[in-house]
Amino acid sequence: MLEVRKARVDELDAVFEFYGQMADQMEDTDFDVQWRRGGHPSAALLRESVEAGQMIIGVLTGDAEGEGVEAGACASGAGGAMDARAEGGKGAAGSHPVIASAMVVNHEGSSGYEAVPWAVDAAPECVGVLHVVATLPVYHGRGFARQLLTRGIEVSRADGLVVLRLDTFPHNKRARSLYESCGFEDRGDWTVYYPALGDIQVSMYELPL
């Protein structure tokens, strides 16, 4: 099973390693969305997100633990070592959860978000922006990405947010299909700026809560 919840500060190393695996395993594959270990997502972004309660993770529990985790990783959209043989959702030393999926929900849209004709007019502190949504590829097809998003929507609503927004590459058909099936509305293709990528064309999505 997958337990979706906010990451704890003592799980920061596991979060670092999860995204490090994503960056390494995505490179030069069909899923390459230009993440790089030590670049994007940055350690500062991950640390700040965990400390602020803005990192949502899907942790393996029960029968799902350890199945295929050693096979590699890649993103579904975009620290210490983890042991695939973990029990109770933690590594062999009992200190790290086995993370199958993760994402950040903060209030920071990249430069270019302000030009999009969003349907919901909301104060910045009431807007949630999804970043670095990812799932280990060995768990693709098991609904883990959908569980992450569905629970993330519930958590965001409970936190008082009124709308969620995100961007993804126009060619990322798998991610776009998932977002649309979860209720996100396509707001068109726009140019945004990311420090690690420069000016890029992305597809914008919005979900009123």
CB 205 within 8 A of CB 117: no
**Which residues make Cβ contacts (< 8 Å) with residue 157, sequence separation at least 6?**
209
pTM score, two decimals? 0.82
The Cα 176–Cα 8 span in angstroms is 29
Domain 2-208 in this protein, CATH class: alpha beta
pLDDT tens across 64-115, in order?
554 443 333 334 333 222 222 233 344 434 557 899 999 999 999 999 999 9
CA distance 97 to 5: 12
Q: What is the pLDDT of residues 120-176, one digit of tens each?
A: 999 999 999 999 999 877 788 899 999 999 999 999 999 999 999 999 999 989 899
Helices (H) and strands (E) in the chain, counts: 4, 7
